[in-house]
Amino acid sequence: MPARELTPKERILRQIRGQEVDCIPTIGGWMEGVKNLAQIGGISIDTYLADPMAGVVRANRALAVDGMISPVIPQRIDEIRTGMVLDAPFQGVQPEALLAAAEELPDSEKAILASFDALVEENRYRHFFEQAFRTWDGIVPIPNFWEIGGHFPLYVDYGYQAFLMACALYPEAVGKIWWAKSLHSRERAKILVMLYREYDLVPLMFCGEDVCNNQGPMVSTAFLRKYYFPTVQMILLPLVEAGIRCIHHCDGDVRPIVNDFIEIGFSGLQGFQYELGVNLYDLRQMRSLRGEPVLLFTGLSVSRTLPFGTLEDVRDEIDYFMDATDGGRGMFLFTSNVTGVEVPPENIQFAYQYLKGEDWKRKRDTKWREWPWLKRNS
């Protein structure tokens, strides 16, 4: 073990490099519920609502997180979720809308990039980092800019029905839209490489759009490999060449395409819906394009363990993470997704306290070879 307590940045850097750490690094930022955040932060609801960003920082500081992604910031006491996309607002939108959008796009890279404003993008990223340094009270920023992980969810602009039908009817048009958007994001990635060096950031980028649901990929793997994954690889290349480890968010049953994530440049994975058969032991065997063991942001289950489990369930889930990663190698504790308002704050607090204390170092008699919740509830 290191001779002294590490700073959060040192802890994260050493974990990335495969060096010994004094405890497993923890990541925060994805918690929903004004009441929950206020309770975790030890403040009143009124105090939280007076400055929600400060309340989020207070809660994550209370958990002693080492790093934080761009946080979810609940603004209202009745807010229960974020990022929900419904088809109702897109009634009447036809797949031909995507075909028309593709036909309006220029065919050359030069023409596509003519509308890219590098200064605007640089200033946007600078604002994020400088605000984080100023207001996050020493929590290390782990950048997550979704545009860097690909532009799969065109359903946000057209609805699910029109998007999925267009994938079947007009695959080249959908691919062209992805290509055009990704050209801009490739240039953004180049800007980020410059800023990572200037701000001396930890070499981590969290991104990766949802490509799967509970049944697997939303579209065929052949379609993804032909039209989508090459565009993501194009975005990631500047970051990968600069030695920045890119972590892919893993919602749904990602097993059919998790190797694709690695092949296009990702060297870490986050999230995991274990109830779908995702197994950390399998993921831990993977290696990046550079031969590095993958980094795992081992997500505490937001669908089972955190909302419905006991403190013992939470502890055993973390022990499973530890066992699957050979004692926490390359492991960062995080949540699998945004924790809902139904999650008892005590479960979150216990999880983060557990890894900051001495219990995680104990020699365990039981090796969890599978997800404990499944073992207990099968």
Give me the mean pLDDT over the 134-157 stretch.
96
Tell me if 89 sits within 8 A of 163, measured CB to CB. no
Range 235-262 average pLDDT = 97
pLDDT of residue 356 exceeding 90: no
CB atoms within 10 A of CB 257: 21
CA dihedral 207, 256, 368, 290 (to 10 degrees): -60
Q: What is the mean pLDDT of residues 131-141?
A: 97
Q: Tell me the average pLDDT across 107-119.
A: 98
Specify the range with the lowest mean pLDDT, choosing from 156-170, 266-280, 348-362.
348-362
Q: What is the mean pLDDT of residues 145-155?
A: 96
Supply the pLDDT for residue 377.
Answer: 77
268: pLDDT strictly greater than 70: yes
Average pLDDT over every residue of 61-84: 90
Confidence of residue 374 (pLDDT cuts 50, 70, 90): confident
Global pTM? 0.94
Is 60 exceeded by the pLDDT of residue 361?
Answer: no
Residues 271-317: tens digit of each pLDDT:
999 999 999 999 999 999 999 999 999 999 999 999 999 999 999 99
Comparing CA positions, the residue from 291, 217, 286, 223 lying closest to residue 257 is 217
**pLDDT on residue 365:** 56
**Residue-wise pLDDT tens digits, 323-340:** 999 999 999 999 999 999
Percent of the chain with pLDDT over 90: 89
195-208 exposure pattern, b = at least 16 Cβ within 10 A, e = fewer = ebeeeebbbbbbbb
pLDDT for res 359:
56
pLDDT band per the 50, 70, 90 thresholds, residue 79: confident
Q: Which residues contact 260 (CB under 8 A, 6 or more apart)?
A: 221, 224, 225, 229
Q: Is the pLDDT of residue 125 over 90?
A: yes
In the predicted structure, residue 378 carries a pLDDT above the cut 80: no
Q: Above 90 in pLDDT, residue 28? A: yes
Average pLDDT, the chain: 94
- Is 80 exceeded by the pLDDT of residue 244? yes
Distance between CA atoms of residues 262 and 286, nearest Å = 8
